[in-house]
Amino acid sequence: IAAGGGSIVRFADGRLQAGPDSAGADPGPACYRRGGPATITDCNVVLGRIRPEHFPSVFGPAGDAPLDAQASRARLAEISGQVAAAGGPRYGIEALAAAFVDVAVAKMANAIRELALGHGEDTQRFTLMPFGGAAGQHACAVAELLGIESLLLHPLAGVLSAWGIGLAERR
């Protein structure tokens, strides 16, 4: 269940959407400096949840540039213009970024709720174990929507998906 950092954000069909399409690692989010689309990662950059100065300069075509917060802002400004042109609200960049994060969080919570209900379970009875690169940024909000009171955040939560793929039996 994911609406992770690479999930592309857009305005389509009269609403804000996050995923299921992903920018992947290449081109990656707009802030990676390789011409990628706006993503949840870009929203987190704009909101100050990801601080470019805390990341190594490994981005851009040559792999030697820092994250580009201006590219994130520019892509979100384009979407803000699309929303306004369609008669929707006039979002500021930060407000639009927050709205996209809310959409992604709701999408994750709804998917978990649907899965649990399909098995006759109540999400409030469980501990949420988030994983993925953006796990720590969104886990509490997802848990809150589900009525979950406890989280188990593995120290390697950011790489558990990749670790699992590496350990999985190929078939």
| pLDDT for position 34 | 96
Per-residue model confidence (pLDDT) at position 168 = 75
pLDDT at 164: 72
137 vs 131: CA distance, rounded Å: 10
pTM: 0.89
Using CA atoms, how far apart are residues 121 and 5, in angstroms rounded to an integer? 28
What is the pLDDT at residue 1? 63
pLDDT in 10s for each residue of the chain, 171 residues: 667 788 999 999 999 999 999 998 889 999 999 999 999 999 999 999 999 999 999 999 999 999 999 999 999 999 999 999 999 999 999 999 999 999 999 999 999 999 999 999 999 999 998 887 778 888 999 999 999 999 998 888 877 777 777 777 877
Cα four-point dihedral sign 100, 103, 108, 109? positive
